[in-house]
Structure 1
Amino acid sequence: MNKIVRDHYPVSQLPDDLRTGFDKDATVRIVIEEQGPQEPNGNADGLAPSFFEYRKPGAPIKAADLLESIRIFKASRPPSTDEQEAVRRIRDLRDEWDEE
Structure 2
Amino acid sequence: MNRIVRENYPVSKLPEELRPTTDLNAVVTVTIEEDTTGGEQRPDQLMTLEEIFALRRPPYLTKEEIDDDVRRDRDMWDD
TM range (shorter): 0.3 to 0.5
Superposition TM-score, scaled by structure 1 size: 0.35
Greater helix share, 1 or 2?
1
Which of structures 1 and 2 has the larger relative contact order (alpha carbons within 8 angstroms, sep 6+)? 2
Normalising by structure 2, what TM-score? 0.43
Larger radius of gyration: 2
